[in-house]
Amino acid sequence: MKETKPVMSGAEIFFECLKREKVEIVFGYPGGATLKIYEKLYDVDFLKHILVRHEQGATHMAEGYAKATGKVGVVLVTSGPGATNTVTGIADAYMDSVPIVVFTGQVATHLIGNDAFQEADIVGITRPITKHNFLVRDISELASSIRKAFYIASTGRPGPVLVDLPKDVINSVCEFEYPEKVEMRGYKPNLLGHQNQIKKAAERIRKAKRPLLYVGGGVIMSGGYRELHLLAKENNLPVTMTLQGLGAFPMSDPQSLGMLGMHGTYWANQAVNNCDLLVSLGARFDDRVTGKIDAFATGAYKIHVDIDPTCIDKNVVVDLPIVGDVKHVLAELAAEISSPPKIEEWWEQIHKWQEECPLHYEKHDGKLRSEFILEKLSEFTKGEAVIVTDVGQHQMWTSQYYKFNHPRSHLTSGGLGTMGFSVPASIGAAFAIKDRPVISISGDGGFQMNMQELITAVYHKLPVKFIIINNSFLGMVRQWQELFHAEKYSFTDLSDSNPDFQKLGEAFGMKSFFTNRPEEVDSILEEMMQIKDGPSLAEFRVEKEDMVFPIIPSGATIKEMMTKRLNPKEMI
Residues within the interface to another protein (CB under 8 A)? 123-124, 127-128, 131-132, 135, 137, 152, 184-187, 308-310, 312-314, 317
Amino acid identity at 469: I
| Positions in 416-435 near ligand TPP (CB under 6 A) | 417-420
How many Cβ atoms are within 10 Å of 520's Cβ, its own excluded?
Answer: 15
- Give the nearer residue to another protein in terms of CB position, either 133 or 389: 133
521-530 vs 370-381: helix axis angle to the nearest 10? 40
- Give the nearer residue to another protein in terms of CB position, either 79 or 145: 145
Q: Is residue 84 within a helix (H) or strand (E), and if so which, with residue range? A: helix 81-84
How near is the Cβ of 307 to another protein at its closest, in Å?
11
The listed partner (another protein, ligand TPP, none) that binds 135, CB under 5 to 8 Å by sort, is another protein
Among 108, 112, 477, 483, binds ligand TPP (CB under 6 A): 477
The listed partner (another protein, ligand TPP, none) that binds 185, CB under 5 to 8 Å by sort, is another protein
* Annotation marks residue 118 as catalytic: yes
* Annotation marks residue 448 as catalytic: no
Q: Is 414 in the site for ligand TPP (CB under 6 A)?
A: no
The listed partner (ligand TPP, another protein, none) that binds 291, CB under 5 to 8 Å by sort, is none
In angstroms, rounded to a whole number, what is the distance separating the alpha carbons of residues 486 and 156?
A: 45
In angstroms, rounded to a whole number, what is the distance separating the alpha carbons of residues 553 and 556?
A: 5
In angstroms, rounded to a whole number, what is the distance separating the alpha carbons of residues 82 and 485?
A: 38
Q: Is 440 in the site for ligand TPP (CB under 6 A)?
A: no
* Annotation marks residue 491 as catalytic: no
Catalytic residue among 117, 484, 506, 560, which? 117
Among 10, 31, 428, 445, binds ligand TPP (CB under 6 A): 445
Catalytic residue among 55, 227, 332, 539, which? 55
In angstroms, rounded to a whole number, what is the distance separating the alpha carbons of residues 52 and 69?
A: 20
Among 242, 389, 471, 515, binds ligand TPP (CB under 6 A): 471
The listed partner (ligand TPP, another protein, none) that binds 132, CB under 5 to 8 Å by sort, is another protein
Cα 61 vs. chain centroid, distance in angstroms?
11
Count of chain residues binding ligand TPP (CB under 6 A): 20
- Side-chain-side CA neighbours of residue 412 (13 Å): 28
- Give the nearer residue to another protein in terms of CB position, either 185 or 488: 185
- Give the nearer residue to another protein in terms of CB position, either 184 or 566: 184
Nearby residues of 470 by Cβ (< 8 Å), 6 or more positions away: 443, 444, 498, 501, 539, 540, 541, 542
Start-end of H helices in 208-325: 217-221, 225-235, 266-274, 287-290
Q: Among all residues, whose Cβ is closest to ligand TPP? A: 443
The listed partner (another protein, ligand TPP, none) that binds 127, CB under 5 to 8 Å by sort, is another protein
Catalytic residue among 36, 148, 167, 465, which? 167
Q: What is the SS3 assignment for 147?
A: helix
For 84-102, give one letter per residue: b (16+ CB within 10 A) or e: bbbbbbbbbbbbbbbbbbb
- Give the nearer residue to another protein in terms of CB position, either 187 or 347: 187
Picking from 219, 59, 81, 29, the residue whose alpha carbon sits closest to that of residue 129 is 59
* Annotation marks residue 167 as catalytic: yes
- Give the nearer residue to another protein in terms of CB position, either 129 or 271: 129
The torsion of the CA quartet 329, 334, 339, 341, rounded to 10 degrees, works out to 70
Catalytic residue among 61, 259, 476, 528, which? 476
Catalytic residue among 118, 197, 349, 452, which? 118
CB-CB contact of 452 with 53 (8 Å): yes
In angstroms, rounded to a whole number, what is the distance separating the alpha carbons of residues 76 and 43?
A: 16
- Give the nearer residue to ligand TPP in terms of CB position, either 461 or 485: 485
- Give the nearer residue to another protein in terms of CB position, either 7 or 184: 184
CB-CB contact of 386 with 433 (8 Å): yes
What is the pattern of x (binds ligand TPP, CB under 6 A) and - over residues 362-401? ----------------------------xxxxx-------
Q: Is 284 in the site for ligand TPP (CB under 6 A)?
A: no
Nearby residues of 93 by Cβ (< 8 Å), 6 or more positions away: 59, 62, 63, 66, 99, 100, 159, 160
Active site residues: 55, 117-118, 167, 476
Name the residues that contact ligand TPP, by CB under 6 A: 390-394, 417-420, 443-446, 469, 471, 473-477
